Structure 1
């Protein structure tokens, strides 16, 4: 599910680049040892989106990687966890992860990652590959393409005026909040009703194809499990949750012809979106690590099946780096 990063770094030019050695020296003085920062992203758009202008686009992602490669030690998640266990993690160790499996991960993010010599981990929900679409993107694209006024009375939302970008953003936020925690089947019914009421054509190329997932893997990127249908595990019956976890892993391994070691909890809030029993299911399915969306950095004492993740939202690159360093002192929450 896409996040909107409202304040990622935008500093460019020689002035900012020449400051990187000084910033690196400052960070070296205050960075705690044996901490692994795991950054979380969802999309990298080819250009800015007028509806969500602060979503990460190619230019911002390129600038961010320039900062990270200059001032931090970028490692893959698997490499970082091995070093964390062994006590050999380099200072300011950082890794990059993506959730969900958007097509722009392969089309836009991958070339930028390769240009900077960085490998990332991509957590893929297999049920949306090859033409699928996540429910939240259905809502976003319905509202994006809708006329200036729509009658959603049959769905319980009344008449919505959509005569400005702000009103469309507000409508999207309202609909997502109302539908997010509904039972899976009920949410699906509501989304299909909204599709019927709005009646506009929707894109079918937002998510990756199986070929693109294999392309990421062949390029040296790590691929991780993210269930089949991206449900909130805490809202499922135990056996249904177990199938979502294991079936997603099996589908990815069949697609790649290689084992999949890491898992990301959909939505990822400990105690709300997943419970301790789901961490046990992840372990039983054969994963060796799992990540949440609790803020913090991993340490040798962390639960490796509930690793925290964090991405600072500061637009200013110095504040971004300093907030990332501060976050290294947070342990993160667990279920």
Structure 2
């Protein structure tokens, strides 16, 4: 804790930010809960994914968070929010998808600072699986230089002659397939990988193993569900969505030997990626609460099955703190759900 106070004394702007956060994020019945969302934390910069945060950057962000906020376990924060007893400057840390670097890179940084996080895991990709976006990323990474015409599978033409062109190709491919029905998305991504890298194997260690998931839980972290296959729920029938949610929940509970009580909607934008029917499903299936990716903060009046989350997209801790302040002061009503 002394290190945090030293940072405050050294940085008057950080002190002012912490003080301001206490004003806009008071305690009790008018409290506001900030929930942060992360995905990966890399040991070093990845040239084809330059926007993914690295360990030193994440450590700096966590130092800022510990100094400016009171970081709580998400389940505890939800209970306190409902009861009107949430402390001032309350914040929670979450991760989505279930990457192995959550355990190997992020967890030690969290533990060194005494911070808790909730990890929402997509169960189908445990033990050697690869999510669709990572399959595309890794295929583009290892593809030989050249021009690839994928128009026959309703995608674009890609010039993979430079690092910059590969980054642009990854971004375009992910955007084009993300909202396809799950089966079609899987088929199309498989065809892209075959065209770009043939029989060259793709990594099988990006996601956690079952043992790593247990290690994360045993370290005191919360494990939540994130569906089985990471579909866009709004693009499925209700029966298909329910089956995918159930399969993900049951698989995690089988590994952990305990009830999984929290859920994160894939992609997570209300009214676009999930509907009211999915909110009701989660209640019926025995979850306690769920998080979206709608920006903003939660209050006592917020639907606890649609808790907003925010990511301060800055590698600089001070700028991240200011973005969090702005997020706290801007009220964004949750879009109406169908």
Fold shared per TM-score above 0.5? yes
2:61–2:320 Cα contact (<8 Å) kept: no
What TM-score, normalized by structure 1, do the two folds share? 0.92
Which residue of the partner structure matches residue 31 of structure 1? 25
Superposition deviation, residue 159 in structure 1: 4.2
Which residue of the partner structure matches residue 77 of structure 1? 74
Q: 1:240 to 1:61 in 2, by over 3 A?
A: same
C-alpha separation between the residues in 2 aligned to 1:44 and 1:18?
Answer: 27
Partner SS for 1:176: helix
Among 18, 29, 32, the residue aligned to 2:10? 18
Among 134, 159, 162, the residue aligned to 1:161? 159
Which residue of the partner structure matches residue 313 of structure 1? 313
What TM-score, normalized by structure 2, do the two folds share? 0.91
Which residue of the partner structure matches residue 178 of structure 1? 176
C-alpha separation between the residues in 1 aligned to 2:81 and 2:292?
Answer: 18
Among 93, 97, 102, the residue aligned to 2:94? 97
Q: 1:136 to 1:208 in 2, by over 3 A?
A: same
2:121–2:225 Cα contact (<8 Å) kept: yes
Superposition deviation, residue 158 in structure 1: 5.4
Q: 1:125 to 1:115 in 2, by over 3 A?
A: same
Which residue of the partner structure matches residue 190 of structure 1? 188
Q: How many residues align?
A: 322
C-alpha separation between the residues in 2 aligned to 1:93 and 1:163?
Answer: 47
Superposition deviation, residue 54 in structure 1: 2.6
Which residue of the partner structure matches residue 3 of structure 2? none
Which residue of the partner structure matches residue 291 of structure 1? 291
RMSD: 1.7
The one-character-per-residue Cα deviations of 1:146-179 (angstroms, maximum 9, x if unpaired) are 1121433443445421122211111111111111
Partner SS for 1:328: helix
1:296–1:328 Cα contact (<8 Å) kept: yes
Matched, 1:127 2:124: yes
2:99–2:206 Cα contact (<8 Å) kept: yes
Partner SS for 1:196: helix
1:294–1:332 Cα contact (<8 Å) kept: no
Q: 1:18 to 1:163 in 2, by over 3 A?
A: same
Which residue of the partner structure matches residue 324 of structure 1? 324
Superposition deviation, residue 207 in structure 1: 0.4
Q: Is there any run of 5+ residues in structure 2 with no aligned partner, and where?
A: 1-5
Partner SS for 1:253: helix
2:53–2:315 Cα contact (<8 Å) kept: no
1:298–1:331 Cα contact (<8 Å) kept: no
Partner SS for 1:290: strand
